Each structure stands twice: as C-alpha cells, then as structure tokens.
Structure 1
Amino acid sequence: MNSNPIPLTSTELGNLWMTYQEKTMLLRFLEYFLEHAEDQEIQQILKSTYDLSGQFVETIKNIFQQEGAVIPIGFTVNDVNKGVPKLFDYLYESMFLHMMGKIEASLFALYSTMAYRKDIRKLFIDLTANSQQMFDQCTELLLEKGVLVRPPYMSMPKEVTFIKDNHYLSGFNLLGDTRSLNAIEISLIHHAIETNLTGMQLMIGFAQVAHDKQVQQYFVKGMKLSKDVETTLGEYLRQDYIEPPATHAGKATNSTVAPFTDKLMMYITNLLGSFGLGSNALGGAFSLRGDLPVTMARLALKIVPFVKEGGEIMIKNSWMEEPPQIEDRKQLTKS
C-alpha cells in the first residue's frame, strides 16, 4: 500500500531501478573484498560501505513495494563465490572503491536533479553524500599508502590574462609549437588515465577467470581498450614532459578461479564502458585545444562498439534484466 499520495515518475522509477542494479552489484564485490582484506583500516571502510549500501538497497526495495512495483533481481549472493583465491593484490579493494566513488557520486548527483518527489530527492542526495564519503576515505588511505599518484603541480598564476588569438584553440600544428596543456585539460586527462588503470587490472583479472570463451575474449578486448586509452592520453602529458599516473599496487594475481559469475563481471564492464563514454564527452567538451576533442571522439568510437557488444553478449545469455517499460501504445494504433 502506497502511503505517499504522489506516485513515482518514470524518471524516478528508472533511476531507482538502475541504482538497485548498481548497489546490489557493489554488495557482491564488498562481500568478496571483506573475505580477503588484511589491512584493518581497509576492513573498516569496506564494512561501513557494505552496511550503508545494504540499507540503501532495503530502502529502494521498500519504495518499490509501496508503489506496487516488482522488485528487480539485480545481483544476489549467488553471483559471488566465497572461499576462492584472491584475484587482486595489495590495496585493490580501495582502488576499486575509489573508482566506484567517482562513478556513483556522478550518477547519484545527476539522479537527484532528475527527482521531483521529496523523499526520492533526499534518497539520492544521501546516496551522493555516501559515495563522496567513500571516495574521500579511499583517497586519503591510498595517499597515505603512497599508492595514489597526485596530478602534477604547476606554478600559481600571478595575474589574470585573456586569450589573444585563435592559436590557443589549435592542436594541429606541423611546426610543433602547439601550446602546452592548461590546468583544466591536465585534470581531465589525469582523471581518465587514473580510472582506466584500475579498470585495466579489473579486465585482466576477469579475463583470467571467465567461464564462457566469448566472455573471456570480451574482457581481453576491454583490457586492450583500457591500455589504448591510457597510452593515447598519456602521450599528451609526455609531450609536456609530465609523467602519466601509474601505480605499483592493485595488480591482478595469477588466480584462475572466478570470484564472481560471468553475469556480474559483464555488468560492471558495461557500466565502466558507459562511464568511460561520459568521461570522454566531458574531456572533449571542456578542452580548448583542437586536437584533444578529436582524440576523445576517436576513443569514443572504439568504446561505443565495445559497450554494444557487451550488451549483445548479456542478452544472448539472458543476463540483462529489462528496465521498467512504458506501455506500447504504438501497438494500439496498429490494431
């Protein structure tokens, strides 16, 4: 019985549904990480994140029940395998949550601006705050451990200047005097490389343990695509004598025993691919150097078919749960 006189809008229903999928996936990762985490500080972050994520999942369940909507399946305890060898080594748990914090904070902040019912707005605001806290805790921990590489420092500006000519917008100069990257462009490139480094290790690990041959080959493609993004964007930093971010931690081990089902591993790969497209669009939109948007667009042309192929594999194996669908009124006009 719905105690709220205002029903959910289609936007609110869709965003709650997607949040349920993502949060139940995250719970499975946290269950696996909690089994293997050795550092006490990491265990505390994992445990608090697990407890709060579980509470959010229950809240969304209750909303669906009150609205008379079926509760999605999402990902259950059957999607994680306990007692298997560790697939990722030192501090990968925190690196993974650091990456997921970026994704969640962006998504939930967006969802909060797409909600109209007060309780749904509050839920997404709380979800955003929780994700930002998770990101902050992992950032602080990784910096303390010397694992997270800070972006390059630069001299502070002493006066305000204005762009004088269109050369500032050019990135294609055969004479080699293309201007140096500005702070905004460096930040976007660093962000993309940092995320892809974590994603690349995820793909390496997944490729080692996937059961289905086609799924395994797909993860190998994902590994190569992440490497392509990292090396392509890293070259922009190297041209300005800046070393791209890299880390010695969080590598995939040599385990060949899957901690997750192929279904779950395909889902998060699809999520990361979609997030990568958004990051590329952001990087291209805020760059004032003509060559960077072109490069971002070329990378996007590689990511789009990768994400599409992932969707096709999931559909083929009946792993893709269908989102809530509006009534097909077009059929009425044909009858």
Structure 2
Amino acid sequence: MDMEKMKLTSSEIGSLWGEYINGTATDLVNKYMYSTIEDEAIKTIFHEAIQTFEKQKEQIKSFFEKEGFPVPIGFNESDLFLGKQRLFSDAFCLNYLNIMTLHGLLGHSTSLGVSVRKDLRLFYDSCDDAAKEMYHKTIDLLLEKGLFQRDPLYYTYDQPTFISSKDFKDGFFGKGRTLSAIEIISISLNLKKSIMAKTLSIAFSQIAHSKEVKKFLRSSEKTADGQIKTLAKILQGDNLPVPKSLETEVTQSTESPFSDKLIMYHTGFLFQAAQNYHGAGLASSMRTDLIATYESTILQNLLVTKNWFDIMVKNKWLEQPPLAPNRKEISR
C-alpha cells in the first residue's frame, strides 16, 4: 500500500488541528517574550524555538492542503501587539519555555501514538526530537543561571522492601506514611504547572481589556492558588521543600501585547492540559489524602474549563475542530 496516498484518519486530522491551534498560540507568546528579553543566552533559545515552529507550521499547513481540509485560523499577528511595556522578567520567560516544552513533548507523543501514515509519523518524530533538544537546552540554562528548582532529595536505602501493612494507603488518620518517590513525581509537576498557571493569570488579568475576561482570570488565579496551597501543605507535612512562586517575575505593566482571545485560549489550555497530570497523579497515588486532593482538583478544573468555554463561545473566539459527518442532516 502506498502510504502517501492513504487518506488521513479522523484522529490524524484531529492531532494536526490541535498541534496547529496550540502551536500558533504559544508561538505568539514566544515572539513577544523574545522582543523583550535582555539576556542573550535566553534570547538565543527563544529565537530557535520560534524558527523551529515556523517550519512545523508550514508542514502542518501542507498536510491540510494536500488532504483538502481548510487550514485552521489559529492565532496570527492580529493577536500580537509588539512594542508594549515589558510584562515578564527574563527568568520567568525561561521557566515558561521549559514548561511549555514539557507540554509539547506530551502532545507530540500523543499525536505520534494515533498516527499511522509514515509521513505523519516521521513529522511527529522530528517534532519530538526538536522538543527534546529544547528541553535539554532550557534545563541546562536554568541550572547554569541557578533558576532551576530540583525536586526533593531522598536518602538512600540499604535494600529493597515490600509493603507490609494496609496503613500504607492511609493519609488522613495519623497512621499514614511519608510520601513515596512515585507520588512526588506528580506532586512536583502539578505544583510547577499550577505556579505557572497562577502567575500567567495574574499577568493576564493586569492587561486584559474585557471586564468579563479579567473576572475569569481572577477566578482562575484563585483556583490555581488553592491547588498550590493544598499540594504545598502535603509536602510540608513531610518536611519537604516547596517550589518558589513566580509572581514577583511579573512587572506592573497594564499594556496588553495580546488579544483577549489569545489570553483566554492560553489560560484555558493550561487548565485543560493540567488534567492529564492530575489524572496521572490520581492513578499513581496510594495515599487516601492524595487521592482526595486530585479528585477535588480535577473537579475544580472542570468548573474553570466550563466558564472558559462559555466565554469563548459567547465572544466567538473558539474555533470548531473538524466534525464527523451528520448523516441525519445530510439525508434531509
């Protein structure tokens, strides 16, 4: 079978559509940050990220055009207003690129997992390779500048042991054990992502034009802050360090370099993407308090997402993904 002549499946079209929408949104934030960054090493990495996505965007457009599907609108220069006052510090920008690269790695892996056509698989391979290279570069630079926050360190054990009591699951009634290394993975990731979501909500609430959008952003900030405090309390209960906040890396600027459409979409994306990590945390937790925390967090994020969806639809900001044919409608 000629792989190049195989029609793209619904899953393959959906993955391309998502990559394009998410990529064009993040790309504009990267371009704004690039225009304000003063540190040459950080600026160089952002330039590379922008150049890399420009090539990927053209490849995605080519897939759509060859298949006869319209290229999504996504986000473009009409959503970006350069020349405004600086909103973020260089340190925040580098942390932002690191976190968004992690989201990209997850997205590329998912897209590769649903792709069958070889040209599409090779495309996602190249996307994944570029994201891994960017991940290494952001980590190395964060470490070099003393900005990377490492996860808690554990002391070594003499030998492997087995769980010997049902109390291993307890996290509420005083018999509970300390956090396992497996549980720390999700706690740390979720904390860092919630800190990023809170900081962006604060920054975006300063610059948004619409009162409705500002209100939503203050609500999303409050939700992220509550989740940070809950996870931090669990770490502190075992005398483990908590990642520091990033709010002080936001300036007092009220000049918006972004459209409200882009601000809203980006905030919603962070809360939706976080559900993957909360779900992973829920699946890997064996302490009852952690399970309850993740269940509560997932429900909170669903409420944020519902409010986000209502505002996006009301303002006609939410682009519709390709839909399955409505046979009943066609038959009429």
Q: Is the 8 A contact 1:148 1:247 kept in 2?
A: no
Q: Give the C-alpha shift of residue 250 in structure 1.
A: 6.3
Corresponding residue SS for 1:4: helix
For residues 248 and 31 of structure 1, what CA distance do their matches in structure 2 show? 21
Residues 1:315 and 2:304 aligned together: no
For residues 19 and 311 of structure 2, what CA distance do their matches in structure 1 show? 22
1:277 corresponds, among 275, 278, 283, to 275
1:193 corresponds, among 191, 194, 203, to 191
Which amino acid counterpart does residue 201 of structure 1 have in structure 2?
A: T
Corresponding residue SS for 2:84: coil
| Aligned residue number for residue 33 of structure 2 | 33
For residues 246 and 38 of structure 2, what CA distance do their matches in structure 1 show? 18
Q: Give the C-alpha shift of residue 249 in structure 1.
A: 7.8
Which amino acid counterpart does residue 181 of structure 1 have in structure 2?
A: L
Q: Give the C-alpha shift of residue 331 in structure 1.
A: 3.1
Corresponding residue SS for 1:91: helix
Q: Which runs of no fewer than 5 residues in structure 1 stay unpaired? A: none
For residues 53 and 134 of structure 1, what CA distance do their matches in structure 2 show? 12
Residues 1:286 and 2:281 aligned together: no
Q: State the number of aligned residues.
A: 331
| Root-mean-square deviation over aligned CA pairs | 1.6
Q: Give the C-alpha shift of residue 302 in structure 1.
A: 0.8
1:241-292: CA deviation from partner (whole Å, max 9, x where unpaired): 1121115686211000111000011111111011111111110100111221
| Aligned residue number for residue 165 of structure 1 | 165
Q: Give the C-alpha shift of residue 199 in structure 1.
A: 1.8
Q: Equivalent residues in 2 for 1:94-173 (5 A)?
A: 94-173=94-173
Which amino acid counterpart does residue 154 of structure 1 have in structure 2?
A: Y
| Aligned residue number for residue 83 of structure 1 | 83
Q: Is the 8 A contact 1:90 1:249 kept in 2?
A: no
For residues 139 and 278 of structure 1, what CA distance do their matches in structure 2 show? 22
Which amino acid counterpart does residue 72 of structure 2 have in structure 1?
A: P
Q: Equivalent residues in 2 for 1:6-21 (5 A)?
A: 6-21=6-21
Which amino acid counterpart does residue 161 of structure 2 have in structure 1?
A: T
Which amino acid counterpart does residue 89 of structure 1 have in structure 2?
A: S
Q: Is the 8 A contact 2:207 2:254 kept in 1?
A: yes
Q: Is the 8 A contact 2:179 2:238 kept in 1?
A: yes
TM-score (norm 1): 0.95
For residues 158 and 6 of structure 1, what CA distance do their matches in structure 2 show? 56
Corresponding residue SS for 2:90: coil
1:75-119: CA deviation from partner (whole Å, max 9, x where unpaired): 001111010001112311111111101111111101101101011
Q: 1:119 to 1:250 in 2, by over 3 A?
A: farther
Q: Is the 8 A contact 2:39 2:90 kept in 1?
A: no
For residues 21 and 178 of structure 1, what CA distance do their matches in structure 2 show? 44
Which amino acid counterpart does residue 213 of structure 1 have in structure 2?
A: K
Q: Is the 8 A contact 2:38 2:90 kept in 1?
A: no
Which amino acid counterpart does residue 266 of structure 1 have in structure 2?
A: M
1:206-225: CA deviation from partner (whole Å, max 9, x where unpaired): 00010110101111111111
For residues 223 and 288 of structure 1, what CA distance do their matches in structure 2 show? 29
For residues 276 and 317 of structure 1, what CA distance do their matches in structure 2 show? 24
Higher deviation after alignment, 187-196 or 125-134: 125-134
After TM superposition, which residue ranges in structure 1, 4 or more long, deviate above 6 angstroms? none
1:94-145: CA deviation from partner (whole Å, max 9, x where unpaired): 1111110111111110110110101111111221222222222112211221
For residues 72 and 314 of structure 1, what CA distance do their matches in structure 2 show? 17
Q: Give the C-alpha shift of residue 332 in structure 1.
A: 5.0
| Aligned residue number for residue 213 of structure 1 | 211
Q: Is the 8 A contact 1:147 1:249 kept in 2?
A: no
Q: Is the 8 A contact 1:94 1:138 kept in 2?
A: yes
Corresponding residue SS for 1:291: helix
For residues 41 and 145 of structure 1, what CA distance do their matches in structure 2 show? 10
Q: Is the 8 A contact 2:92 2:246 kept in 1?
A: no
For residues 16 and 79 of structure 1, what CA distance do their matches in structure 2 show? 21
| Aligned residue number for residue 58 of structure 2 | 58
TM-score (norm 2): 0.96
For residues 223 and 248 of structure 1, what CA distance do their matches in structure 2 show? 13
| Aligned residue number for residue 256 of structure 1 | 254
| Aligned residue number for residue 325 of structure 1 | 323
Q: Is the 8 A contact 2:42 2:90 kept in 1?
A: no
